[in-house]
Structure 1
Amino acid sequence: MLLLLGAGVVANAVLAKTKGNAGGFLMINFGWGLAVFAGVTVSYASGAHLNPAVTIGLVTNGATEFGQGVPVNLLSILGYMGAQLVGAFIGAVLAFLAYKQHFDEEPDAGTKLAVFSTGPGIRGYGWNVVTEVLGTFVLVFVVIGFGRAEPGAGLAALGALPVALLVVGIGASLGGPTGYAINPARDLGPRLAHAILPIKGKGSSDWGYSWVPVVGPLIGGALAGLAATALLPIL
Structure 2
Amino acid sequence: MVYGLTVRWLSELLGTAIMIMLGNGAVANVELKGTKGYQNGWMIIAVGYGFGVMIPVMMFGPISGSQINPAITLALAVNGLQQWSNVVPYITAQFLGAMLGQLLLFLAYKPFYDQTDNPSRILGTCSTISASGSFVNGFINEFLGTFILVFSALLILNSHALIHTPGVAELGVGFLVWALVASLGGPTGPGLNPARDLGPRIVHALIPLKNKGTSQWTYAWIPVVAPILAGIAAVFLYKMIYFGQ
Aligned equivalent of 1:149, options 150, 156, 159: 159
Q: In the alignment, what sits opposite 1:59?
A: 77
Aligned AA (1:84): Q
Tell me the alpha carbon deviations over residues 35-85 of structure 1, each in whole angstroms, 9 at most, x when there is no partner: 112222232321111111111232244314xxxxxxx12x42111111100
Aligned equivalent of 1:215, options 222, 225, 234: 225
Say if 2:91 is the partner of 1:81.
yes
Task: Measure the CA separation in 2 of the matches of 1:18 and 1:142.
Answer: 34
Measure how far apart 1:29 and its partner are: 0.6
Q: In the alignment, what sits opposite 1:67?
A: none
Measure how far apart 1:233 and its partner are: 5.0
Aligned AA (1:181): G
Q: In the alignment, what sits opposite 1:173?
A: 183
Aligned residues: 224
Aligned AA (2:53): V
Q: In the alignment, what sits opposite 1:231?
A: 241
Q: In the alignment, what sits opposite 2:11?
A: none
Task: Measure the CA separation in 1 of the matches of 2:42 and 2:191.
Answer: 14
Measure how far apart 1:143 and its partner are: 1.3
Task: Measure the CA separation in 1 of the matches of 2:146 and 2:74.
Answer: 11
Say if 2:132 is the partner of 1:122.
yes
Task: Measure the CA separation in 1 of the matches of 2:243 and 2:119.
Answer: 48
- Describe the SS at the equivalent of 2:186: coil
Structure 1, unaligned stretches of length 5 or more? 65-71
Task: Measure the CA separation in 2 of the matches of 1:60 and 1:115.
Answer: 32
**Which deviates more, 91-100 or 45-54?**
45-54
Kindly indicate whether the alpha-carbon contact (under 8 Å) linking 1:51 and 1:81 is maintained by their aligned counterparts in 2. Answer: yes
Kindly indicate whether the alpha-carbon contact (under 8 Å) linking 2:157 and 2:169 is maintained by their aligned counterparts in 1. Answer: no
After TM superposition, the runs of 4+ consecutive aligned structure 1 residues lying more than 3 A away are 156-159
Kindly indicate whether the alpha-carbon contact (under 8 Å) linking 1:2 and 1:36 is maintained by their aligned counterparts in 2. Answer: yes
Q: In the alignment, what sits opposite 2:113?
A: 103
Kindly indicate whether the alpha-carbon contact (under 8 Å) linking 2:58 and 2:167 is maintained by their aligned counterparts in 1. Answer: no
Aligned AA (1:47): G
CA RMSD in angstroms, aligned pairs only:
1.8
Aligned equivalent of 1:10, options 18, 23, 27: 27
**Which deviates more, 38-47 or 223-232?**
38-47
Aligned AA (2:60): S
Task: Measure the CA separation in 2 of the matches of 1:18 and 1:162.
Answer: 30
Task: Measure the CA separation in 1 of the matches of 2:145 and 2:32.
Answer: 26
Aligned AA (1:220): A
Q: Percent identity?
A: 38
Aligned equivalent of 1:42, options 39, 59, 63: 59
- Describe the SS at the equivalent of 1:81: helix
Tell me the alpha carbon deviations over residues 86-111 of structure 1, each in whole angstroms, 9 at most, x when there is no partner: 00000001111110000011111111
Kindly indicate whether the alpha-carbon contact (under 8 Å) linking 2:156 and 2:169 is maintained by their aligned counterparts in 1. Answer: no
Task: Measure the CA separation in 2 of the matches of 1:90 and 1:175.
Answer: 24
What is the TM-score with the length of structure 1 in the denominator? 0.89
Task: Measure the CA separation in 1 of the matches of 2:243 and 2:213.
Answer: 49
